[in-house]
Structure 1
Amino acid sequence: MFRPEFIARIRYEFDKTMAAGPIALIGWLGLISLAIITVAGAVVSLFSIVPEGDEDISFIEGFWASLMRTLDSGTMGGDEGWGFRIVMLLVTLAGIFVVSALIGVLSTGLDSKLEELSKGKSKVLEKNHTIIFNWSESIFDVIREIVIANESSRKPRIVIMADMDKVAMEEEIADKIKDLKNTRVICRSGDPTVLFDIGLASPETCRSVIIMSPETDDADPQVIKTILALVNDPDRRPDKFQIAAELREAESVDLARVVGGNEVQIVLADDLIARVMVQSTREPGLSAVFVELLDFDGCEIYVVEQPKLSGKSFGEAVMAYDTSSVIGVCSAEGVVSLNPPSNLPITEDMSMVLIAEDDSTILLDGKATNVAIPSLGKAAAVLPKPERTLILGWNRRAPIIASELSRYVGPGSLLTIAADVPEIEQAVADIVVDSKNQKIELKKVNTGRWADISSLDPLSYDQVLVLAHNDHMSAQAADTRTLVSLLHLRKMKETDDRNISIVSEMVDVRNRTLASVTNVNDFVVSNKLVSLMLAQASENEHLEAIFTDLLDDGGSEISMRPAENYVTLGQDTTYQEAVQAALARGEVAIGHHILNQTEADGIGQSGIIINPIKSTAVRYNAGDRIIVLAE
């Protein structure tokens, strides 16, 4: 008799093999089939159990006969002799059991494999692909931009990994992006903070990585952990990663830099949107300039070595290109300087920061490389004056906007915040601004109601900023509230001749067309702007430094100045003359705004064109503006 411990051990070992999956089950069924066929073959051979009229058969023949009846129950239909029939009947019944079980195991295993594939848990075997970690509303604009950038590439791939169902991601992408051109999008389901799941996207063979801010409360720690996993993976590639990461809080930037080093570029999303919105109140139309600079569909910013310019001055370098616009220099250490003095000597180790339609169009084709740049001095500084600003709506970017505004306005300015979101009193009380310049007051009103907005007398303010309520509403609901507020403001303006600047934030770029009927001075589409910045940063390792300079109040900013400051209105001239006049004022021209021309004329957004050909003839009229980099 077997002891209970031995029986338990045998049962345990059997359970382990059964838990190994379909392969183990198929193995057990194979062993059972082999045992049945072997026993049946031995019985008919040893006991001479053969069909009537047949001679004795060997074990091999008996084995074969049993095997055929195990696989096909119809084979026994022609058997004769009751002894042989009984043995083959038993073999056939056992075969029916084995084959039925085998079909069930194979079906279950196939279903399990298909379910595993649908979950996106297999490793991606791609090379030179772009990886996007996490999922947010901005991801669709990122994909669109990468698709445009990939048009000239061979078999481009985008791999998306997020903690979502793979099929749901694929369906949403197919619903919102109708044309992927030659790019294929591959989705994988996993946790982008887990090293094993990150490995499924094959980062060791990728071209670039984009880490989006997930729609969770602890977004920044998750992004930082993903950077940490990529950069410090024991099996990471020796080559440098090109990572673009989106963060929300300025406090997270230093930690991200410690973790990612020079392999990561930070896009501080809320700070970017807030600064562009504030600057747009000073320069209506500025958001369109940023979009033109950041999208892959027009001109882009490049940092390229140009050894032929060594020994020239920066002013001569600006005039050395007809189809490109030089805006600054980059040192060998990667330090970017935009709009440096025109007499700055160009050294061999410097790279040029310039705007061009494509890197293939960057040619030293200018006709004025030795032109003398007169010094007219910088434009006279305008002292800030007291201003009254109204913010309609609230989201997490409002405190940054309030703080940024206080840097531009003069002493005695007032900022009124009008919203009705929960706990707004404490949020407004926590805003840190320069109290000498700007006081803050709160008005709890419903920004979607005419009576509430009218009670604020919005037309008495110098500028109005309409923020999206996307912290407390979905993207579409937030844009709907924004549209209602803008329509109310438009109605008020139609019955009043007071002129104010209105800048509005939209979440979804698809709602911008609807908002255009409200006659707003400028729109900042927050998701679109962040998406463009991430897509560009994944391709250009110097982009963060460039835009840090552009958006910093202490650096060179994009300004749109009256054309009459540079050329004579109403006369035929060339854009080159405007560029030379800008240099004489200590500025760098990057484009112009032709008032009476629009996208229908092929001139870009609302008449804005970046990087015009310098030799192009143009006639500037009243209202036209030159777009420059100026301190």
Structure 2
Amino acid sequence: MARRRSALRDRARYRFDQTLARSTGTLLGWLAVCCLAVVVPVSTALVWMDPAAPRSLSGRLTAVWRTSAETLRLGAVTGAPLRMLLSVLLGLIALLCVSTLVGVITTGLGDRVAELRRGRSMVLESGHVVVLGWSDQVFTIVGELAAAHGDRGRPTIAVLADRDSTGMEGELLAVPGVRGRARLVCRTGSPADPAALALVGPATAASVLVLPAAEGEADTEVVRVLLALRALTGPEGGPRVVSAVRDGRRLPAARLAAGARGTVLETDGTTARLLVQAARRPGLTSALRDLLDFAGAEFHLADAPHLAGLTFRQIALRHDTSCAVGYLRADGGLLLTPPPGAVLTAADRLVVVAHDDRPAAPTDHGTHVDPTAISAATPAADGPVRVLLLGWNRRGPLIADLLRRGARPGSVLDVVAGPDSGLLPGQQAGEPDDGRLAVTHRPGDPTRPEVLRGLDLFGYDSVIVLGPDTCQADERPDDRALLTLLALHSSEETAGRALPVVAELHDHRTERLAPLGRAADTVVRGRLTALLMAQLTHHPSLAPVFDEIFATRGGALDLRPAGEYVLPGREASFATVVAAALDRGQCAIGYHAPEPHPADVVLCPRKSDRRVWSAEDRILVLLPAPDASATADPADRDLPHIHSGRRSDDTPAEAPPA
């Protein structure tokens, strides 16, 4: 019986659905029947429950009619049937007119809201920041731009990309520190289309950032966007433009398209350089992030006419919580890590690393220097190194070249990658390169533990993990890197020893998932470039400083053992470390202590702060520029780097120090 009732119910529902699907008139008919089925019984109940209702049946029926008609807005005229029928007709016509008007208004408002949600309205702003394109770098850039303003008002950031504007806004507002600190305006359209580009008002913007896409012909698209921006704002005028390309071979074209007010960064070369530096100097990656984000200490330019006539050594010891690192001359020339006797003129600006762009009043801290605590130790000579490279992508050749240029004779680079990794024939042969670095290709899948067990992992000085540039449809970009890190971490636990590992990751959200050992670190692809873009947008006058530190010299920043500056086990102030570094032609700007927080680098400590320096402590220093005439191999100077449209030369990047 229950099955029969269920079948009858399903059949009735099926018939009802078929009836509704026939036409609009049928739907209106069912709507009228349903309304009458509810309104008439309820009206009848109200009339019969009313003590003041008429006593006669005809009077009560008339009252029911009036209540139902008023509820349905059909009029309440009584009398002859024809008169009541005309009243119903007028009510239906009035209802149709009102419904049509409401529908027109609702449709218009819905279309307008949909248009706004599609992001096709004009942005009427001035002095705002425009971000063109979409990649993982956009989250870092927007977060840093919001943090850069601090309490000085909410910046307006307009983002144009070929994505849904509502989705973009939701993803960007999820970045920590953005909600409430920045006003986001997202628009949908191709940044290479001048009509879509005009929506975000680039002509009235303070600066424009152009991001390379995560995949496809990203660099060609960047060039098209720069040309569209140039066509819209003119070749000479317009806002500052900061852009990035992935492949250094596209730098000349991008620099020409950016024009005189443009600066072009290169993502792949910067990432490769950072991976090599992190492999050689563990902890340097976090120091670079701290220097380039807006959360702590960073580079600033300070007018210091009151210090004119003083030598650099005197100036370096007169700032308690900031570290002087050079001069920006009045003619635009930059002098980083100048000789201790270099004199500051009244027209020069001071380059400092500080927590605030308004350093405290200078006071002499030379009294905190203890000459008896300064070490006479000289840096130990670097020998040949053994590096293991797990995986291969388009940054692999750049890493191999950077390692070769800084290697000592007898160094080895072993590459473990699949046969379809794209290694060059010469690299597969494993022949020594100029006698300095022998590159050996070992076919195998680095994600498989048995492949790693066949290697002498702890015989290498450092291990670099690379993920593929493209992945299959069922994979995420960092899946293979995570599997490799898991296998390495398992080997660490089995052996009870720490492996010096640095891994390249694609997505910044993967960083929290990476299984890292005590000596492991990660480099998020494109993050350093994004931080540089945010710094150049907020501090355009610092462009020559960043160009010198992160491009022209590449390895200008280094972590050196504290024993090279102060005696291990001896208590001394940081002013003593600064003075010792100045004696060696370097600028000390912080230190890294394994205890109690091994991942932290302390930037700009007080000159008066005293601590017992151990042999495990390392000092973060800015090194002097090497002698260009000492470069023996012209091929060592062929990697592209940061380029500004104002420059006409192709100053190549040098390798970081070994």
Question: Does 2:599 correspond to 1:606?
Answer: yes
Which residue identity does 1:386 align to in structure 2?
P
Q: CA deviation at 1:178?
A: 7.6
Is contact 1:144-1:180 (8 Å) kept? Answer: no
Does the 8 A contact of 1:377 with 1:586 survive in 2?
no
1:313-352 residue pairs with structure 2 within 5 A?
A: 313-352=311-350
Q: TM-score, normalised by structure 1?
A: 0.77
User: What secondary structure, in the 3-state scheme, does the structure 2 residue paired with 1:360 have?
Assistant: coil
Q: Deviations over 1:196-231 (max 9, x none)?
A: 222211223333322211123221222233233334
Alignment partner of 1:507 is 2:500:
no
Paired amino acid for 1:154: G
Please give the alpha-carbon distance, in whole angstroms, between the structure 2 residues aligned to 1:265 and 1:237: 14
Partner of 2:613: 620
Distance apart, 1:371 and its partner CA:
10
Corresponding residue of 1:145: 144
Residue identity in the other structure for 1:295: D
Give the aligned residue type for 2:288. F
Other-structure match for 2:21: none
Q: How does 1:443-592 map to 2 (within 5 A)?
A: 443-472=442-471, 477-496=476-495, 501-515=500-514, 517-552=516-551, 554=553, 557-592=556-591
Q: Percent identity?
A: 30
Q: Give 2:309's aligned residue.
A: 311
Q: Aligned AA for 1:397?
A: R
CA distance in 2, matches of 1:369, 1:128: 47
- Whether the aligned pair in 1 keeps the contact of 2:489 and 2:515 (CA below 8 Å) is no
SS of the residue 1:132 aligns to:
strand
Q: Which residue of 1 aligns with 2:248?
A: 250
- 1:496-531 per-residue CA deviation (whole Å, 9 max, x = no partner) reads 488763222233344434436423343223343333
Which residue matches 1:259?
257
Q: CA deviation at 1:423?
A: 4.8
Moved more, 311-320 or 272-281: 311-320
Instruction: Specify which of 612, 615, 622 is matched with residue 629 of structure 1.
Output: 622
Mapped to 2, the partners of 1:423 and 1:282 lie a distance apart of 25
CA distance in 2, matches of 1:219, 1:396: 14
**RMSD of aligned alpha carbons:** 3.9
Please state whether the residue corresponding to 2:282 is helix, strand or coil. Answer: coil
Hey, what's the Cα distance between the residues in 1 that align with 2:608 and 2:375?
Answer: 25
User: What is the Cα deviation at residue 347 of structure 1?
Assistant: 2.7
Q: Contact 2:390–2:463 at 8 Å: present in 1 too? A: yes
Contact 1:266/1:544 (8 A) holds in 2: no
For the residue of structure 2 that corresponds to 1:424, the secondary structure is: coil
Query: Structure 1 372/556 Cα, relative in aligned 2: closer, same or farther at 3 Å?
Result: farther
Which residue of 2 is the match for residue 156 of structure 1? 155
Figure out how many residues of one structure are paired with residues of the other and give that number: 550
Q: Which deviations, in whole Å up to 9, do the C-alpha atoms of 1:415-448 show, x marking residues without a partner?
A: 2221227452458859999543223222221111
Deviations 1:57-88 (A, max 9, x none): xxxxxxxxxxxxxxxx99999899xxx99999
Asked if structure 1 preserves the Cα contact closer than 8 Å seen for 2:142 and 2:178, the reply is no
> 1:82-481 to 2 correspondence within 5 Å?
102-175=101-174, 177=176, 180-234=179-233, 241-361=239-359, 363-368=361-366, 385-420=383-418, 422-426=420-424, 434-472=433-471, 477-481=476-480
TM-score, length-scaled by structure 2: 0.74
SS of equivalent to 2:490 = helix
Report the CA distance shift for 1:391/1:555 in structure 2 as closer, same or farther (over 3 A): closer
Aligned residues of 1:391 and 1:417 also touching (Cα < 8 A)? yes
Superposed CA deviations along residues 266-311 of structure 1, whole A, max 9, x for unmatched, are 2211111111111122211110110110111101111233222322
Q: Does the 8 A contact of 1:475 with 1:508 survive in 2?
A: no
Shift of residue 186, structure 1, vs aligned partner: 1.8
What is the CA–CA distance in structure 2 between the aligned matches of 1:430 and 1:262, rounded to whole Å? 43
AA partner of residue 605 (structure 2): P
Question: Residue type of the partner of 1:618?
Answer: R
Aligned to 2:56: none
| Letter matched to residue 126 of structure 2 | K
Q: Match of 1:217, SS? A: coil
Which amino acid counterpart does residue 107 of structure 2 have in structure 1?
Answer: T
- The alpha-carbon distance between structure 1 residues 304 and 415, as it changes in their structure 2 partners (threshold 3 A), is same
d(CA) in 2 for partners of 1:236, 1:86: 75
1:442-497 deviation line (CA, Å, top 9, x unaligned): 22211111111222333332321111335326998343432332232233344548
Q: Which runs of 5+ in 1 are unaligned?
A: 1-72, 599-604
Kept in 1, the 8 Å contact 2:370–2:572? The answer is no
Amino acid at match of 1:325: C
- The aligned residue for residue 47 of structure 2 is none
| CA gap 1:155/1:500 in 2 versus in 1, 3 angstroms | closer
Q: How far apart, CA to CA, are the structure 1 residues paired with 2:275 and 2:142?
A: 24
Q: 1:214 to 1:554 in 2, by over 3 A?
A: closer
Higher relative contact order (CA 8 A, sep 6+): 2
Instruction: Tell me, in whole angstroms, the C-alpha distance in 2 between the residues paired with 1:255 and 1:331.
Output: 30
Q: Work out the CA distance in 2 between the residues paired with 1:378 and 1:476.
A: 54
* Aligned AA (1:139): V
CA distance in 2: counterparts of 1:361 and 1:294, whole angstroms: 18
Taking a change above 3 Å as real, the CA distance of residues 612 and 505 of structure 1, as seen in their structure-2 partners, is same
For 1:350 and 1:261, the matched residues in 2 are separated by 28
